[in-house]
Structure 1
């Protein structure tokens, strides 16, 4: 017992050194093996014997092969208190996979063709040593150790139990990235070339860690970019990610997620399948999928690990999801079964570029267990295919069991179809053969140059590895095969869609392709019309967190949610968005405005008091017609200028007043029409001057009336002011002061045309900017001052004799005038656009009409309708008696 304990302590002590000095440590352990064997009888620390079996065929040069002929699906909780059952360690009792058996047979076909070829490796027979990895990384690593040690019961990689095993030059395999990663670390120590036919993990491109690894499939880094491009192509923005918890799944999810996020989409959840016990977390993953609102799920997993999840989804009747498959399960026979069709209907994904192997059909259909009794895999395939048992296998055999005879024939075993992984196996063997051919041919040429006979000398693994880097040959179907500096083939994928025929068979139909080896725009193409989706009418399924924002809206982030979850906010006033899912709205140019849909900018309408506008036409008509009335009255006064009523009202001043009233009506036309610089400059000045003349005349008439009646008193000093000089003086002085205000206004800040885009959104208001608003209000205030003085004076003398009531009429006219313009001020300040000018025109017309009606209408009525009153006696009040 003491020796056993010492041996175990020695193993524990040396274990950390193995990772750094593995070759030397293995030599030490091999020397200590007899000692270990002596302790075997004690039943402690005994190295377990390996029962790895495989297919071995002699040859001048041996190629190793690793294939998952069986799928490891025995899930049992281990207590770690007692040794696990033997079948859980090394025996694959379940799930013989005919497709992977076909891969193995393809390697044998390639070896057979190369050995018979007079051009490739002439006079050399290739041997093989193949074993089953059971899709388990641990078993694959154990098999490699067994392969390197020559098939010993206790694998020791650097010790060859058979001398012929030293002829091993390389290994083809394994299919899964997890197994290949484990194998590559060990094979890389000895520089044995490893060529995988189905391992796609991007980690394997690291030449520092895996210097001897090559593969006849692209790296996942290209697939990740392609899958993200596929997701973006169909407009899916809310994606679920699922993968196995291996380097393949984790790295695939990481790189694909990065590319998806870069394209603007979001990942709703990420779930990992436990490869040690896929059935353990399958209920959890199923619950995550059911509770999420995603419709599209990208899966990086092998078919065998994905099956338990599909079973759980089938149990809960989860349908309507679109599955995006990585190349590892996109064409897997384990998953593409009729029983899973309800769950996986319409699956789309990437698959390895297909190729054709001309002799495969004949080779597979000529298989015969009697001709190759050493092929243990063929015997099991025979049992699975023909549902019989070989009589030598007593396990499970009863009298009712069909006995295999080898003569069974229910049709051909294989029909030609699209080859993907099978084709990768085929060119992997040829790539290794061409590398060997290059080494041997260079040796032969060297021997001929020095006139020596060439004898076969096996190349070293390091030589084969170097030769692999320069391999470049044309395959049977014309495809160029070569490796990039990272040991990868050019990234070319087929895009496949799962479709079911009427007979219930599922086919992986090619609907597009992806070439990730170039940066051209044509690297990605899909024929969407040939895709069958899981939706009715074969409509492209939708997957989003929030519906797309239509044009005229922008996306607004929701606090605490991914960027794909957003709300749609209408564009603010004056801004547009002309594409769906716009992040920002864009402001229109100053002279444009959004249309009703807010998807384009249109020219703003220009608003001004136009001559074509109904309001403008009305005001123009009123102004012109109104201007005729004072002219007509002037004509009437001229005809009756000798009558007492005309002479009593200061005939000359009345004429000037009538002319100014006509001009008041006409000056309103300056406010109608498009604003021009000249019009803006003169319209307010004309208005102010004409009205100043008009009100000054009224004021002069008022003063004349007051002086006239005050001067009638005896000894009045006002007699000398009763002439026309006072009238002209008052009128001239009133106009002159207004002229001064206008000159100051024009010389400082004159009016100018302006386009106003602030007052009324969506409209350009063409108007005249007054330049110096204070001057305008001063001008208007001055008119109010003249009118107020006139009103006050007229009011004081309102009680004159009834027959000469001129002061009373002036009182009413000034009251109306002031009322109009006082009301005008708030209306003018509150009006917008063209209505500002319309308001001023209306005030001009109204106030002018007030003067015409109140001052001249009574006189005209007497002249026309009561001429008998138009005499001196009546005017002096004597006509009433």
Structure 2
């Protein structure tokens, strides 16, 4: 198509990007016709823009714009040839020869594909002729090779990449398939997108490169290509597919979905959510008649932001095939757009009926790309290279009310619209804007406006490799698979996960514990052996009861202090022993209640010193019996030890040593109140930290040492004459005492929390009761129930009492 001009013209390369020689059977030829339909809409938009400029005397006064259209046939050789032909038009091809009308060329509008535009730039760059591209290209390649030649009427593609990522994140699609055209643009797309996928927790189930040109003549090669793409396309997972490419990419993909495949036995109508880049969005309209496009129902596409252009729809209504002779494409366009045919003597049957030329659009895609150029400048003597600084600094409002300007990289600002494809039963469709992504406004999506593919029953599709791990579980990576594929493992003890799909469980704070489902942390309860709880009440009652019994025994002994049975075996030691046992029962109360500084400092030292006095008294009584027996022998030197002095010395010295140990303990590392956060999962244990465990066990060890000595002496003296012998009862008492405290050590170590305290209280009470019962119960029995036996003569005659 050629538009005549007066002063200036613009070259358009190309309008059709396909290689006819590479397309053969399977109904693919219909694509060629359909592609013309979409590209013709681009031409109509350009015609409208040029007419608007030419008809407005205030835009370019005394200047009329025109344009030529050239076809590259999707071939590098043809692209170079047509570009040179545009520059050096003549009857014969003469490079660097300019004649007449061609001197008016000021700029070139490139094609949709990056390769075609780059080939054009290779020719234009030496002549400093600017190229305006309206296709979306990989920015890195442009900036490094053709930065001085390109002015892109599209935003930076990086916005589109981030829009894809944000769309996936918004709907939770972490398992996606990626199809990309096998060229530089596709390689850049993959290298840019894949790091963002990983960074946002998204995995690509597969990445397939679609050949830029399918060599359809070789059937084996054709089916190899189909197999490489067909099988992953029809798998149930993933449900979300990303597609990057151009016109031939979508053609091949549609062919693949149309043809049956011998290796695939599944359901060929598996529902998918497609996410398409802007290049595919531009050319998708041409597929309406070729195949059933229900496969793309609900697809998302990123399209360059557009706005309704005033007057354009009215312009389209004025176009009729019979009145527009200069447009050689309009007839084909009309037949495809309205499914009709113009009369042809060679055809007897007309698909869809005859065209009248009066048909009007219905359900046609109204999206167009409008590029308007113009400023109040004199262009009569303008050279192409002089347009470069003008384009670099251009900024104006077009007739749609939007600001047009290029940034430092030769890109137009703005962003991308996110459209949702709604396909009707008659194969017509409508693209509904459901969101946008731009540098200024960020990512915006309106979920209520989205129509999902029919296979998802209008619910939001799920595209994940593994089902979500619920709260209380963590993701456990599957060996040899991508990080999006995982099993779910229950959080370990002490940890929780309060969200879905957590990579690791969180440790609860020290003062909190995990719930049963391990999905939240509850505050721990402060626990200690309280006076009010049943166990505490029982221990208090036992301690009070035996304290009362001990006091009664002491009172009985004091009342009967002059009787032989009380005077035997040192009356004063019995008093000290009874008072010490009373204090033992009472000191157990220091272990009850919430620990504080006073109770923590007093409880263990008091317990250690008082029990040392008790054992010292028992040992003194036993040694007194032995010494008294030995002193009865004629000429014995032991008589000087008989009396109170020996017993008092034993009690004082043994108690002094234990007191010294306790003083050193309190002076160096005294006990203190503490909180145990870890022993119990759901409790904070209030306890007394012993300060120095060594000193604590040293106190116990010294008590054990005294007890062993007492037991040994008592055991050896158990067969002495009965009048002087208390050793049998002391032997039983010390045997019981040692058994209790030997059992105490492992039991104390194996319990936690308040039960440790209960074990120690029980040991104190049990050993005290054993000493009280074994040593004093026989004497009390005689004093109370057999007073007639409490006589010296009777005691002398008795073998035992």
Report the TM-score range of the alignment, normalised by the length of the smaller protein.
Answer: 0.7 to 0.9
Contact persistence 1:609–1:837 (CA under 8 A): yes
**Which residue in 1 is equivalent to 2:54?**
115
**Which residue in 1 is equivalent to 2:100?**
163
Alignment of structure 1 residues 61-140 onto 2, 5 Å: 61-66=8-13, 68=15, 72=19, 74-75=21-22, 94-95=33-34, 97-134=36-73, 138-140=77-79
CA distance in 2, matches of 1:822, 1:216: 92
CA distance in 1, matches of 2:88, 2:353: 35
Of 42, 55, 71, 2:2 maps to 55
Alignment of 1:481 with 2:419, yes or no, is no
Q: CA deviation at 1:630?
A: 0.7
Q: CA deviation at 1:378?
A: 2.3
Of 321, 328, 350, 2:279 maps to 328
Of 243, 253, 257, 2:194 maps to 257
Summarize the Cα distance change of 1:201–1:740 in structure 2 as closer, same or farther, 3 Å threshold. Answer: closer
Of 132, 140, 146, 1:209 maps to 146
Summarize the Cα distance change of 1:719–1:179 in structure 2 as closer, same or farther, 3 Å threshold. Answer: closer
Contact persistence 2:236–2:270 (CA under 8 A): no
CA distance in 1, matches of 2:692, 2:326: 111
Of 148, 160, 164, 1:227 maps to 164
Alignment of 1:356 with 2:295, yes or no, is no
Which of the pair has the greater relative contact order for Cα pairs under 8 Å at 6+ separation?
Answer: 2
Alignment of structure 1 residues 205-604 onto 2, 5 Å: 205-206=142-143, 209-277=146-214, 280=222, 281-290=225-234, 293-316=237-260, 317-330=268-281, 332-335=284-287, 339-384=291-336, 385=338, 387-389=340-342, 397-398=346-347, 408-409=356-357, 411-412=359-360, 414=361, 419-420=366-367, 422=368, 424=369, 426-427=370-371, 430-431=372-373, 433-434=374-375, 437-440=376-379, 457-501=380-424, 505-516=428-439, 518=440, 522-534=441-453, 535-555=455-475, 557-558=477-478, 560-568=480-488, 573-598=493-518, 603-604=523-524
CA distance in 2, matches of 1:815, 1:822: 11
CA distance in 2, matches of 1:673, 1:403: 97
Q: CA deviation at 1:797?
A: 4.2
Q: CA deviation at 1:566?
A: 4.3
CA distance in 2, matches of 1:812, 1:314: 100
Summarize the Cα distance change of 1:419–1:257 in structure 2 as closer, same or farther, 3 Å threshold. Answer: farther
Summarize the Cα distance change of 1:172–1:749 in structure 2 as closer, same or farther, 3 Å threshold. Answer: closer
Summarize the Cα distance change of 1:201–1:781 in structure 2 as closer, same or farther, 3 Å threshold. Answer: closer
Contact persistence 1:791–1:814 (CA under 8 A): yes
Show CA shifts across 1:3-53 (max 9, x none).
xxxxxxxxxxxxxxxxxxxxxxxxxxxxxxxxxxxxxxxxxxxxxxxxxxx
Is the deviation greater in 218-227 or in 746-755?
Answer: 746-755
Summarize the Cα distance change of 1:779–1:339 in structure 2 as closer, same or farther, 3 Å threshold. Answer: same
Q: CA deviation at 1:871?
A: 3.0
Is the deviation greater in 733-742 or in 548-557?
Answer: 548-557
Secondary structure at 2:206 match in 1: strand
CA distance in 1, matches of 2:230, 2:759: 74
**Which residue in 2 is equivalent to 1:637?**
557
Secondary structure at 1:240 match in 2: strand
**Which residue in 1 is equivalent to 2:111?**
174
Summarize the Cα distance change of 1:220–1:720 in structure 2 as closer, same or farther, 3 Å threshold. Answer: closer
Q: CA deviation at 1:193?
A: 2.8
Q: CA deviation at 1:741?
A: 3.4
Q: CA deviation at 1:636?
A: 2.0
Alignment of 1:872 with 2:787, yes or no, is no
Alignment of structure 1 residues 822-861 onto 2, 5 Å: 822-861=742-781
**Which residue in 2 is equivalent to 1:622?**
542
Show CA shifts across 1:692-713 (max 9, x none).
2222222333334344455555
Contact persistence 1:492–1:515 (CA under 8 A): yes
**Which residue in 2 is equivalent to 1:447?**
none
CA distance in 2, matches of 1:741, 1:268: 72
Show CA shifts across 1:573-592 (max 9, x none).
55555544444555555555
Is the deviation greater in 338-347 or in 806-815?
Answer: 338-347
Contact persistence 1:61–1:127 (CA under 8 A): yes
Alignment of 1:145 with 2:84, yes or no, is yes
Contact persistence 1:71–1:96 (CA under 8 A): no
Cα RMSD of the aligned pairs, angstroms, is 3.7
Q: CA deviation at 1:244?
A: 1.9
Contact persistence 2:240–2:275 (CA under 8 A): yes
Q: CA deviation at 1:348?
A: 0.8
CA distance in 1, matches of 2:71, 2:53: 23
Contact persistence 1:66–1:132 (CA under 8 A): yes
Greater C-alpha Rg:
1
Q: CA deviation at 1:352?
A: 1.8
Summarize the Cα distance change of 1:140–1:657 in structure 2 as closer, same or farther, 3 Å threshold. Answer: same
CA distance in 2, matches of 1:360, 1:416: 17
Show CA shifts across 1:190-236 (max 9, x none).
22232233343425743752523323222423322322332233222
Contact persistence 1:314–1:343 (CA under 8 A): no
Secondary structure at 1:206 match in 2: helix
CA distance in 2, matches of 1:708, 1:219: 112
Is the deviation greater in 657-666 or in 564-573?
Answer: 564-573
Summarize the Cα distance change of 1:799–1:243 in structure 2 as closer, same or farther, 3 Å threshold. Answer: closer
Is the deviation greater in 718-727 or in 825-834?
Answer: 718-727
CA distance in 2, matches of 1:252, 1:715: 116
**Which residue in 1 is equivalent to 2:619?**
699
Q: CA deviation at 1:527?
A: 0.6
Summarize the Cα distance change of 1:114–1:871 in structure 2 as closer, same or farther, 3 Å threshold. Answer: same
Alignment of 1:813 with 2:720, yes or no, is no
Contact persistence 1:240–1:294 (CA under 8 A): yes
CA distance in 2, matches of 1:607, 1:697: 38
Secondary structure at 1:354 match in 2: coil
Contact persistence 2:625–2:724 (CA under 8 A): no
CA distance in 2, matches of 1:419, 1:262: 37
**Which residue in 1 is equivalent to 2:265?**
none
Is the deviation greater in 244-253 or in 846-855?
Answer: 244-253
**Which residue in 2 is equivalent to 1:22?**
none
Contact persistence 1:55–1:131 (CA under 8 A): no
Show CA shifts across 1:77-117 (max 9, x none).
9xxxxxxxxxx9xx997446323222212222222222221
**Which residue in 2 is equivalent to 1:784?**
704
CA distance in 1, matches of 2:620, 2:349: 141
Contact persistence 1:757–1:765 (CA under 8 A): yes
Q: CA deviation at 1:628?
A: 1.1
Is the deviation greater in 367-376 or in 756-765?
Answer: 756-765
Q: CA deviation at 1:337?
A: 6.6
Summarize the Cα distance change of 1:809–1:158 in structure 2 as closer, same or farther, 3 Å threshold. Answer: same
CA distance in 1, matches of 2:727, 2:600: 37
After TM superposition, the score normalised by the length of structure 1 is 0.80
Structure 1 unmatched runs, 5+: 1-53, 78-87, 441-456
